[in-house]
Amino acid sequence: MMSPSMVGMSFLILGIILLIGKWIRVITPGLQKLFIPSSLIGGFLALILGPQVLGNLVEWLGYENGIFALLSGGIFPEDMLTVWAALPGLFINIIFATLFLGKKLPGIREIWNIAGPQVAFGQSVAWGQYVFGILITILILTPLFEIDPVAGALIEIGFEGGHGTAAGMASTFEEVGFPEGADLSIGLATVGLLFSVILGILLLNYGVRTGKSVILLNPDEISLKKSEQAGIVDFDARESAGKITTRPESIEPLSLHFAYVGVAIGIGYVILQALQLIEELAWGRTTGIYLLEHMPLFPLAMIGGIILEIFLDRFDKYKTLDRNLMMRIQGFSLDVLIVSAIATLSLEAISGNLAPFIILSIVGVLWNVIAFLLLAPRMIPSYWFERGIGDFGQSMGMTASGLLLMKIADPNNRSPALESFGYKQLMFEPIVGGGLFTATSVPLIYNFGPTPVLILTAIVMLFWVGMGLLYFGRK
């Protein structure tokens, strides 16, 4: 049984790794120019010092006896790695529960009027990741490499969903008999995150040189200050991390916000249990088809957060929930998740499916680039480059990547890109990118096969492409 002291020590070491990752980024200009997150650097550092790299290297060199025997399993105890392996599946629930807590929820009409074109473009890209992922799996990966057809969902889970969704889906992959899917999707999320920034900077240069960008007119403008590249906020520009909404002697504001997160996750858990019971009684016993049984908790935690936000907005007259403080909880959880997910990544699972992994990576990258260059200018009637580059970054990496690229493309927020991007999330994340369909895509392919899901996703993709080209594109 895992000792409480080992759990505590695991978090302490994780914090030290994060700190080392941050300082590696501060002193390494190359990593700064690529905007690699400190959590990703720390995760790879832990992976290298663990059994996957250092441990195997010691054994390969024949030093598993003698003074090097202690390094044959890496520098981290096995129990510590066990704790780290469990963290992504827990912290993803916190991340999704905080997505809409403290955020004012506008009406659907207002969202549609402001962010409609980006909703259409973002949905087109997300559903296209399913279409091309499943198509390449049916035509090449399963016949030639005998990979599970569930692999067709990996591009969307890894690219659009990111490390959080990939890690959160681990139990689902395990339940459908494709455990290596979790490591492959985390690997794809890493590829997507790296290429989202690298290709994003190249596309920014292309946009400026060809006149696609309305805001930036000179290639020299595509830059951030050295302190911003290093990830340090200038002293005079530093802002409060959040507002203190309650007096600390009554309850610490951070404790209150953490409690709100717990309530949101609890609401999501109750919803999930109710849905699974309905499935069992309605069709599970008679047909043997179970979709919600394999559904993870995190998308329902997001729904729980929306329900709690609506309740607080109406009944909390003291307005005790602060959005900025909730964002800090979300950011902390994401850093912990990325470090622990990368640190416990199975390189054996990726190397055993290396060819399918490379093919899926290439297909995912190509689709995102082609969609940005061909669909975005025809779907988004104004400032398509500034608005589309944010969706490009998100569709390959994570929301932070999209925000970074938008900040470079429009540093003074002269376009409606940032506002539209924020509103778009309200009609985007509940469905794909870690939403309800992302969570059920693997059980759908598992129960019905890849072809029906390919047809379904193709129909939805064509709907959004048509909406973008024929409705918004003509405005």
Maximum separation of any 2 CA atoms in the chain, in Å = 73
Instruction: Look at residue 52 and tell me if it is in a domain.
Output: yes
The secondary element (H helix, E strand) that includes residue 149 is: none
CB 446 within 8 A of CB 288: no
pLDDT at 236 over 90: no
Q: Copy the structure tokens of residue 265.
A: 């996750």
Q: Give SS3 for 72.
A: strand
pLDDT of residue 223: 63
Instruction: Look at residue 15 and tell me if it is in a domain.
Output: yes
Q: Give the C-alpha distances (Å, rounded to integers) separating 458 from 133, 256, 262, 342.
A: 11, 44, 37, 32
pLDDT of residue 69: 63
pLDDT at 324 over 60: yes
Choice between 466 and 409, residue whose per-residue pLDDT is larger: 466
Choice between 259 and 107, residue whose per-residue pLDDT is larger: 259
- Percent of the chain's residues with pLDDT above 70: 95
pLDDT of residue 104: 82
pLDDT at 232 over 90: no
257-303 confidence digits (pLDDT tens): 999 999 999 999 999 999 999 998 888 888 888 878 888 899 999 99
Instruction: Look at residue 167 and tell me if it is in a domain.
Output: no
- Percent of the chain's residues with pLDDT above 90: 58
Nearest C-alpha neighbor of 451 from the set 87, 224, 147, 134: 134
Instruction: Look at residue 72 and tell me if it is in a domain.
Output: yes
pLDDT band at residue 427 under the 50/70/90 scheme: confident
CB 203 within 8 A of CB 391: no
Instruction: Look at residue 49 and tell me if it is in a domain.
Output: yes
Q: Give SS3 for 381.
A: coil
Instruction: Look at residue 64 and tell me if it is in a domain.
Output: yes
Whole-structure pTM value: 0.88
Burial grade of 9 (CB within 10 A; 0-12, 13-18, 19 or more)? middle
Q: What is the mean pLDDT of residues 7-11?
A: 94
Nearest C-alpha neighbor of 415 from the set 448, 382, 460: 382
Domain count, the chain: 1
Q: What distance lies between CA 475 and its chain's CA centroid? A: 32
pLDDT of residue 180: 94
State the residue range of the domain holding 3: 1-76
144-193 confidence digits (pLDDT tens): 999 999 999 999 999 999 898 998 999 999 999 999 999 999 999 999 98
* Residue with the two structure tokens 């139990």: 171
Instruction: Look at residue 155 and tell me if it is in a domain.
Output: no
pLDDT of residue 123: 95
How would you classify residue 62: left for phi > 0, otherwise alpha for psi between -120 and 50, otherwise beta?
left
Instruction: Look at residue 442 and tell me if it is in a domain.
Output: no
CB 188 within 8 A of CB 166: yes
Q: Give SS3 for 74.
A: strand
Q: Tell me how far apart the alpha carbons of residues 439 and 323 are, in angstroms, rounded to a whole number.
A: 26
